[in-house]
Structure 1
């Protein structure tokens, strides 16, 4: 059997098993809380593995190893920022979010913000604008993962890109629609284990491989970095003085979005069962994070040692090329499947979050005006919305050019992370923070990040760092202007009273 055929068989068996497992988990879904939040009873280990698979996705198995391959030691600053952000989120924010979600019966991230500021005059605007940001950015995220899956299948197995795109969605949509959050979490667990297996085994064996194999570019990481050129050994990639500080700060700024700025991750915190689940999840997630980022960097550096610094046309294919080079065909196929698994884990998570935000914050309260429906009818409507969102993402994958999709995705992390991170931290940590301030935090953070991203200054200081300042500005000054005057209640006679924050 040819290696390509073996790889394809293993991938198809994996994807078929994944779909079956997801559909089985969906049998446990009885209402919209189960669909959106897993009944708020998900074990800590499952939330941790799912959150890690969703957060890292193709980035940790494709993008980040490619970045390390192309840049060398400077990639460590990104890893430190990401790792510290995730560790802080799990230790300082996760259990608070779990308790808040239970207290306010929040179905989604935006639903939590709305219910937390339920008496604010800006509550409807918060619901609409917050949902817009999530739906707009996640639609392109899902599309990018679908296209990425299609391209990976084409590169590795020779499948036409269009067939790969359709195959990716054929796997994702059924179990996401049927099982929602429940299916997504547990299928993500499978994918998370496969991902961390690849990120641990591939670099460790790769270090052994380069040390005993003749004809490689270098026999050690140190030798490879020296041969690759001075910038590969430089912690600032050749930047000097204040520009070195700018470079480090921009790379380190990945930490910001992890501070409650990613709804598809935050919802995992909200779904945990209890304090014991949080403690278990925290420990697993922190260990996974350290091992995962270390492995991703090492894969890129091993790639330099095997192939040299400029012999790979597409740096982001370095992980598949490394494992196909060093491992026997069957083991290589399992590791390569990890890259596709990473894309699926992100696509399914963002698909269910997008459909949940639309159903809970726009369709039911705004369009249907909170019309009372039975549990089965609500569940059916939510599933139908998920189908529509999935098909819309599939259509976008065929209608929009790749360059436009990836240019949007390149700043989606910051455009979402900057405003929502500030809203989350301020809501949890500052009692005076008002609903109107939350609205303007989102507005200033979103548009400020986008405008900075498209400006020439982004080449000096990244929007991931600079976009947070408009959000902080709005959070502080609007709170000062509206505290004590933001909340509105109506008495029984219909007169409006303005009351202060509690």
Structure 2
């Protein structure tokens, strides 16, 4: 294998660390570390949100699913686009306003506590535990994905590949904080965007154009390869589209809304973010279709390597190295965001609120950076075994966040009658429903667990809130102020 490939990846990793060091100069206090001082511009906000959202699924999972099954896999993309659009349109502006009004909340647990004037701190502790559990598992899965990429493409030992990827991500996250993560996410988002447009275009051109490439996919692919409705039931389509509900409860995405410079920047960021998302999803689907025809003579043993295989087959080692770095970028952007949110929870929601109420900014900054190291260590331990059962839990981590936090976020922003007990009940009902539903199968239980979890969370919030007393006057007044 040409030495140019690993050299290109090495240059990329060094460049990401350099961005983290540069961001360090702009990180003077804990608010800078957690939310970049709420000074993100529209471009950085939009591209960072997109890159931290999609992860390796966009580069490996979706193209692989289309390669294996055809266009009946696009329902998940449709659901994600709808969910992201509603998130930008209805949640971003009010969340940015409310988190600043509610005691300048820096984290989601911080917002929940301040929003409901919860002096018992039960909301903060419950939501912080949900974040730490799911994100440690999520981070572990991301590290495994990156390690497998290094192992398969460069022939490295799995554990060495794991160590290299973990140290790289740990470096710019711990050093640069939120700005470091967002700046690197911006670069990574651009890389992912162009890679997903270039690879399928070149592949189809190599096969003689769109018409011939499509014909090859029909000849070599599964039955109904170009039919979005082939072998898809109503329950199946709804189940796939239900992924879009997850956006309302993902802490690492919502943090971008909290950090944008001002509300006036949100419409521009929405336009940039949604354009990026739609075109990137198109590229991912096109990559899967192009791979069907291109590898018709020698089908891939692992469908999820279709982007990697096309990159190496179509381009020189130097260009292929850049394209493969985009895959690594997709993994790194999400893992770094998860690490940062988890470290902020430890520093802000546990250390400061429960153990050291008088902790000053320099101390919190050190705790935040140290937490990145601790969480990374826990994730690495889980990731040491590629076949660890922890990876099976990641399938519903998105559903867990979406069902536990999504209804709470939506109703807390738009319903003044919501109470603290209602928020707690919704959080618990959503999370428990997801976990239980996942264990069942057949009939209605084939629905993606986020949908029943989301409905259960909403119902619990409304029922418990209406059954209890009105929220305190100060809580209602704060909600009315933000609403108007």
User: TM-score, structure 1 length as denominator?
Assistant: 0.90
- 2:370 — aligned with what? 384
- 2:433 — aligned with what? 448
1:110-152 deviation per Cα after TM superposition (whole angstroms, max 9, x unaligned)? 211111111x47x522111111111100001111111111110
Q: Please give the alpha-carbon distance, in whole angstroms, between the structure 1 residues aligned to 2:430 and 2:478.
A: 25
Match runs of 1:333-348 below 5 Å: 333-348=321-336
1:253 and 2:223 are equivalent in the alignment? no
Cα–Cα, structure 1 residues 114 and 406, in superposed 2: closer, same or farther, change >3 Å?
same
* Residue 482 (structure 1) shift: 1.6
Q: 1:176 aligns with which of 169, 173, 177?
A: 173
- 2:137 — aligned with what? 140
Q: 2:454 aligns with which of 458, 468, 471?
A: 468
1:80 and 2:78 are equivalent in the alignment? yes
SS of the equivalent of 2:228 reads coil
Q: Please give the alpha-carbon distance, in whole angstroms, between the structure 1 residues aligned to 2:225 and 2:219.
A: 7
- 1:395 — aligned with what? 381
RMSD: 2.2
In the alignment, structure 2 segments of 5+ residues that lack a partner are none
- 1:115 — aligned with what? 114
SS of the equivalent of 1:402 reads coil
Q: 1:478 aligns with which of 464, 475, 482?
A: 464
1:299 and 2:292 are equivalent in the alignment? no
Q: How many residues matched?
A: 476
Match runs of 1:292-331 below 5 Å: 292-308=280-296, 311-331=299-319
Q: Please give the alpha-carbon distance, in whole angstroms, between the structure 1 residues aligned to 2:325 and 2:17.
A: 15
Q: Please give the alpha-carbon distance, in whole angstroms, between the structure 1 residues aligned to 2:323 and 2:187.
A: 13
Bigger mean CA deviation after superposition, 9-18 or 87-96: 87-96
* Residue 501 (structure 1) shift: 9.3
- 1:225 — aligned with what? 218
- 2:47 — aligned with what? 49
Q: Please give the alpha-carbon distance, in whole angstroms, between the structure 2 residues aligned to 1:310 and 1:255.
A: 35
In the alignment, structure 1 segments of 5+ residues that lack a partner are 490-498
- 1:492 — aligned with what? none
Q: Please give the alpha-carbon distance, in whole angstroms, between the structure 1 residues aligned to 2:47 and 2:198.
A: 18
1:198-247 deviation per Cα after TM superposition (whole angstroms, max 9, x unaligned)? 1111122222122269xxxx9322441354232423323324xxxx1101
Cα–Cα, structure 1 residues 197 and 500, in superposed 2: closer, same or farther, change >3 Å?
closer
Match runs of 1:1-150 below 5 Å: 2-3=1-2, 5-104=3-102, 105-118=104-117, 120=118, 123-150=120-147
- 2:200 — aligned with what? 203
SS of the equivalent of 1:29 reads coil
1:191 and 2:180 are equivalent in the alignment? no
Q: Please give the alpha-carbon distance, in whole angstroms, between the structure 2 residues aligned to 1:309 and 1:357.
A: 51
Answer yes or no: is the 8 Å Cα contact 1:432–1:483 preserved in 2: no
Cα–Cα, structure 1 residues 501 and 178, in superposed 2: closer, same or farther, change >3 Å?
closer
SS of the equivalent of 1:220 reads helix
